[in-house]
Chains A and B, each alone.
Chain A
Amino acid sequence: MPHRWGMAVDLDRCTGCEACVTACHAENNIPTVGPEQAARGRAMHWIRVERYWEGDFPDVRLKFRPVMCQQCDAAPCEPVCPTYASHHTADGLNAQVYNRCIGTRYCANACPYNVRFFDFFNPQWPKPLHLQLNPDVSVREVGVMEKCTFCVQRISAVRTQAKAETREIKDGDIKPACAQACPAKALVFGDLNDPESEVSRLSRSPRGSKLLDDLGTLPKVTYLARPSDS
């Protein structure tokens, strides 16, 4: 049976530390664009931590929600792509193929989660940061869309390794950079087709919900509400 990669985010555990954001930038060679361009909405974060303030001062509560590509089963970004750069893989990943992308940006307009980013510039890193690029991930050039891949390079590496050792991929073998960096273990990645995997177990939790569920995009990321909220 093919895998179906998914993620569960336990909002009760998330402290909003943004380690996931930093790890994602480092792992996936995501450039920063500087304050002026960021003010124009051109900043790129494949995962972001949304902040929600509740209540009136001084009785204020702050809630965090890490948002990455939801890897929707019925992804709105896919049918609008004229070049099939955005397509679904057998593993249920919502893939973005940079070679095919011609930068129409239809996908970013179609995405209700705002998790697709357009490269307005050729990325540059101030020296010596250009030496820290991850060789397993492409550096995207100007004019293409990019988004969270669930660290497909890590999935691919583990799949190759498992095949070499003639074994199945075990639950927990694959950890995207965000899940690996999360000190509170709020992010759990795994195979949703395996009913025993931790991510499947968490996704079945009564605390679970999908982001903008009523849109019918069938996201593969489940958010577990704080017990006090549910």
Chain B
Amino acid sequence: MCSPRLPAVRRRRRRFRLAQPIPFPHKTHIAKGLPCTDYCHESVTKGPVAGLPSIKTCMICHDAIATDKPLIQQVANLQKSGRDLAWQRVYGYPNESHVRFNHAPHIRANVECSTCHGPIAEQTVAERNVNLTMGFCVNCHKQKNASNDCLTCHY
């Protein structure tokens, strides 16, 4: 399910950004019980940016797990050659929106990852499914009695 009303700029950017270095299966990892906020996106609880994992993070587990799979071997070879995975960011704001988003307070307010990032737990390669318009943010801020001043996000 893609949102049909993304502005043109956003849509172009999205297609471009979906070309990930490897088809990382989010579904498989979540199903095995690995939470989003452990290892891969661990700075999400600490600061503004969730972070994208480096190849070292992958190899913490995949030094030992599923080493016979071709995709894992591909990753292992990449690390041996001293290179890293060039992840493309899927969610984000263009500069013109002047939005400064901080993940950490949202995590502390118990906002689920899926609220803003959609059913990534059921996806293979991450797709942009939720249209993060200002109305989307403001509705939630109103429900949770969070600040609705423009300066909370726009500066």
Contact = CB atoms under 8 A, between A and B. Distances in A.
B98 interface: yes
A160 B104 contact: yes
A99 B98 contact: yes
Given A98-B98, A99-B97, A152 B108 contact: no
Given A138-B95, A141-B96, A160-B105, A98 B154 contact: yes
A100 B155 contact: no
B150 interface: yes
A38 interface: no
Contacts of A137: 100, 155
B149 interface: yes
A228 interface: no
A90 B149 contact: yes
- What secondary structure prevails in chain B residues at the interface with A? helix
A139 interface: yes
Contact of B95 (A139, A149, A156, A163): A139
Contacts of B61: none
Contacts of A138: 95, 98, 100, 154-155
Among B97, B98, B100, B104, the one with the most A-chain Cβ atoms within 10 Å of its Cβ is B98
Contact of A100 (B48, B95, B108, B150): B150
Interface residues of A, number: 22
A153 B100 contact: yes
A93 B151 CA distance: 9
A139 B152 CA distance: 17
Contacts of A89: 149, 151
A42 interface: no
Interface in A91-105: 93, 95, 97-100
A153 B155 CA distance: 7
- What secondary structure prevails in chain A residues at the interface with B? loop
A97 B150 contact: yes
Given A138-B95, A139-B95, A95 B150 contact: yes
Interface string A148-166: 0100110010001001100
A87 interface: yes
A136 interface: yes
Contacts of B151: 89, 93, 95, 97, 152
Contacts of A99: 97-98, 150, 154
B105 A163 contact: yes
Contacts of B48: 136
Among B48, B95, B102, B155, the one with the most A-chain Cβ atoms within 10 Å of its Cβ is B155
A90 B148 CA distance: 11
Interface in A39-98: 87, 89-90, 93, 95, 97-98
Given A97-B150, A138-B95, A156 B108 contact: no
A164 B105 contact: yes
A87 to B, nearest CB: 7
B100 A97 contact: no
A198 B48 CA distance: 30
A228 B131 CA distance: 61
Interface of B: 48, 95-98, 100, 102, 104-105, 108, 149-152, 154-155
Given A87-B150, A152-B155, 4 more contacts: A95-B150, A97-B154, A99-B98, A156-B152
12 contacts: A87-B150, A89-B149, A95-B150, A95-B151, A99-B154, A137-B100, A137-B155, A139-B95, A152-B151, A152-B155, A164-B104, A164-B108
Q: Which 7 residue pairs across A and B have the least CB separation, nearest first?
A: A138-B98, A97-B150, A95-B151, A98-B98, A152-B155, A97-B154, A89-B151
